[in-house]
């Protein structure tokens, strides 16, 4: 199949960017979207052009490295699918596709389709963990956890941190990402001791990073490759409000 691609090209964080047109010929329908770009990049290098930079690693939809917007949809048109798992058979010859990086104030573009998502790491650092130092854990079966509860925690924990939720949100909010981690840990008995400080720390960090506010568009849930539910956002909001009403502040952690 033949495609017309319009791809965002930007040399570096402080440089202006623009859409550049590429006509791609003889794309194999069984190749993945990233393999299609690989082939284009090989051709660009052979012609002496600069290849298109994009983040990717496992290409199995689990590491969360890849992702860009295809015709306005984060990760492209297939539900619950990262762009590395999207295959060309879902497109038609003659299609025109616009490829853009995640657009969010909190995710500055580094080059082309590659963005800086370190804001996500800092949200986790603000409380997205259970404080249990190596060696101090009790026997694992000491605390039975009802299976339905464990399953709910697992479903929240499936988040791959790709950033599609932020990219698709009209406000650029990170509430689904943050809510998923708050919910995963706050649902479990192990997470109760830090339930309030976790919610406060993570929500406040999220706001500091420049993400927008959630206004319940639910676009995030629609594009999430792992199908994370917006129920997790409600859970986070409840824990956050409760904690704030009790005057809880972010935990200040100091090293040993």
Partner 1 sequence: MESPNVSGVLDSKIPAGPLESKWEDHKGHLRLVNPNNKRKFTIIVVGSGLAGASAAASFGELGYKVKCFCFQDSPRRAHSIAAQGGINAAKNYHNDGDSVFRLFYDTVKGGDFRSREANVYRLAEVSVQIIDQCVAQGVPFAREYGGLLDNRSFGGAQVSRTFYARGQTGQQLLLGAYQALCRQIDAGTVTMFPRHEMLDLVVENGRAVGIITRNLVTGALDRHAAHAVVLATGGYSNVYYLSTNAKGSNVTAAWRAHKRGAFFANACYTQIHPTCIPASGDYQSKLTLMSESLRNDGRIWVPKNPDDKRSPDQIPDADRDYYLERKYPSFGNLVPRDVAARNAKSVVDEGKGVGPQKNGVYLDFADSIRRLGRKTIEERYGNLFEMYDKITGENPYVVPMRIYPAPHYTMGGLWVDYNLMSNVPGLFVLGEANFSDHGANRLGASALMQGLADGYFVIPYTIGDYLADFLNAKTPTDTDAFAAAEAEVRAGVDRFLKIQGKRTADSYHRELGRIVWDYCGIARTAEGLRKALELIPALREDFWQNLRIPGGSAAVNQELEKAGRVADYFDLGELMCRDALDREESCGGHLREEYQTPEGEALRNDEKYSYVAAWEHNGAGKAPTLHKEPLAFEAVKLTQRSYK
Residues in 57-86 that interact with partner 1 by CB under 8 A: 57-60, 62-65, 81, 85
By CB under 8 A, the count of residues binding partner 1 is 80
Examine residue 16 and tell whether it contacts partner 1 (CB under 8 A). Answer: no
Contact pick of 3, 7, 36, 97 for partner 1 (by CB under 8 A): 36
**Residue 224 near partner 1 by CB under 8 A:** no
Residue 117 as a binder of partner 1 (CB under 8 A): the answer is yes
- 14, 141, 170, 245: which one contacts partner 1 (CB under 8 A)? 141
What one-character-per-residue DSSP string does the chain give? Answer: --EEEEEEEESSTTS-EEEEEEEE-S--TTSBHHHHHHHHHHHHHHTTPPPPP---SSSSS-S-----EETTEET-SSTT--GGG-BGGGS-TT-EEEEE----TTS-EEETTEE--HHHHHHHHTT-S----TT-PPPGGGS---HHHHHHHHHHHT-----HHHHH-TT-B-HHHHHHHHHHHHHSGGGGGGHHHHHHHHHHHHHHTT-B---S--HHHHH-TT---THHHHHHHHHHHHHHHTT--PPPP---
CA distances from 95 to 2, 24, 42, 48, 88 (A): 8, 10, 21, 26, 11
Supply the minimum distance, in Å, between the C-beta of residue 165 and partner 1: 16
CB of 60 to partner 1, least distance (A): 5
Taking the C-alpha atoms of residue 157 and residue 69, their distance in angstroms, rounded to an integer, is 24
CB of 188 vs partner 1, minimal distance in Å: 5
Residue 20 touching partner 1 (CB under 8 A):
no
Q: Does 242 bind partner 1 (CB under 8 A)?
A: no
Q: Which of 19, 137, 193, 241: binder of partner 1 (CB under 8 A)?
A: 137
Q: Interface residues for partner 1 in 150-209 (CB under 8 A)? A: 150, 153-154, 157-158, 160-161, 184-185, 188, 190-191
For the CB of residue 64, give the shortest distance to partner 1 in the complex, in Å.
Answer: 6
Piece of the chain touching partner 1 by CB under 8 A; list 43-51, 69-77, 92-100, 169-177:
43-51
Please give the residues from 90 up to 109 whose contact with partner 1 meets the rule CB under 8 A: none
Segment near partner 1 (CB under 8 A); pick from 56-64, 165-173, 228-236, 241-249: 56-64
Using the rule CB under 8 A, give the single segment among 69-77, 92-100, 111-119, 168-176 that binds partner 1.
Answer: 111-119
What Å distances lie between residue 198 and 25, 32, 236, CA to CA? 51, 39, 10
246 binds partner 1, rule: CB under 8 A:
no
| Of 37-45, 168-176, 211-219, 230-238: span binding partner 1 (CB under 8 A) | 37-45
Separation between Cα atoms, residue 236 and residue 186, nearest integer Å: 9
């Amino acid at each position: 199949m033949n495609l017309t691609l319009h791809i965002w090209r930007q040399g570096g964080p402080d440089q202006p960017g623009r859409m550049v047109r590429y006509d791609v010929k003889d794309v194999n329908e069984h190749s993945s979207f990233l393999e299609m770009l690989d082939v284009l990049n090989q051709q660009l290098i052979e012609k002496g052009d600069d290849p298109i930079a994009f983040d990717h690693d496992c290409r199995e939809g689990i590491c969360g490295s890849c992702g860009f917007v295809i015709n306005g949809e984060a990760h492209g048109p297939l539900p619950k699918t990262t762009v590395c798992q999207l295959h060309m058979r879902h497109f038609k010859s003659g299609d025109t596709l616009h490829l853009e990086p995640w657009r969010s104030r909190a995710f500055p573009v580094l080059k082309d389709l590659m963005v800086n998502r370190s804001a996500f790491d800092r949200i986790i650092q603000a409380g997205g963990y259970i404080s249990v130092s190596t060696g101090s854990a009790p026997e694992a079966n000491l605390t039975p956890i009802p299976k339905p509860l464990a399953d709910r925690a697992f479903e929240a924990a499936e988040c791959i941190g790709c950033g599609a939720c932020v990219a698709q949100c009209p406000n650029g909010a990170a509430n689904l990402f943050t809510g998923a981690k708050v919910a995963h840990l706050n649902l479990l008995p192990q997470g109760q001791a830090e339930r309030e400080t976790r919610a406060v720390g993570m929500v406040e960090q999220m706001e500091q990073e420049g993400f927008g506010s959630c206004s319940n568009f639910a676009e995030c849930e629609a594009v999430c490759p792992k199908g994370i539910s917006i129920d997790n956002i409600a859970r986070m909001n409840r824990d956050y409000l409760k904690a704030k009403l009790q005057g809880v502040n972010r935990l200040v952690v100091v090293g040993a």
